[in-house]
Amino acid sequence: MGGGGIGPSEAIAPSLAVLVGFDPGRDKCGVAVTMLTGEVIEHQVVAAAAALDWVRSLQGRFAVAGLVLGDRTSSKLWQAQLREGLDPAPPILLVDEHRTSLLARDRYWQMYPARGLTRLLPQGLREPPRAIDDIVAILLVERYLAAAQPLPG
């Protein structure tokens, strides 16, 4: 699935501690890798069927300090799948997902400003040209960090 986003960073050291934002869904999932400061390293929308393998590949490239998940759509199912399918399973950190999809639309246009005639439309009427689940994942990590919760462990 791979609809947009910043792709894998091959040059990152596996000892680099990161948070992985994960916006779980039935058909697709948003994944974002950030520094512990919130700086985004990469983000991607992946097919739900490939999401667990994607997170496993991230574990091979980074020291995953925690998986930040939204608390709504499919969250409980994904928590179980992540705990069972990852070895070792990093801490799962839940955050309130309320309104993140709406906020992600605005963030999309900040990250990727409209061009051409699209610029003339009010931002609220613009529809992003791709899935924005990865941007939701970025917002989930930002919410976690804003709450100033210490990382488990």
pTM score of the predicted model: 0.86
Let me know the angle formed at the C-alpha of 86 by 153 and 20, rounded to the nearest 5 degrees.
65
DSSP 33-98: EEETTS-EEEEEEEEHHHHHHHHHHHHHHSEEEEEEEESSTTHHHHHHHHHHHSSSPPPEEEE--T
| Helix axes 133-146 and 100-111, enclosed angle (nearest 10) | 110
Mean pLDDT of all residues in 19-27: 94
84 close to 52: Cβ distance less than 8 angstroms: no
Sorted by where each starts, the structural domains of the chain and their CATH numbers stand as: 5-146 (3.30.420.140)
Whether the predicted pLDDT of 7 surpasses 80: no
Phi and psi based region of residue 99 (left: phi greater than 0; alpha: psi -120 to 50; beta: remaining) = left
Structure tokens at 37: 């400061």
* pLDDT attached to residue 1: 47
DSSP 9-44: -TTS-TT-EEEEEEE--SSEEEEEEEETTS-EEEEE
Percent above pLDDT 70 for the chain: 86
Let me know the angle formed at the C-alpha of 99 by 53 and 144, rounded to the nearest 5 degrees.
60
Residue-wise pLDDT tens digits, 65-121 = 999 999 887 889 999 999 999 999 999 999 999 999 999 999 999 999 999 888 888
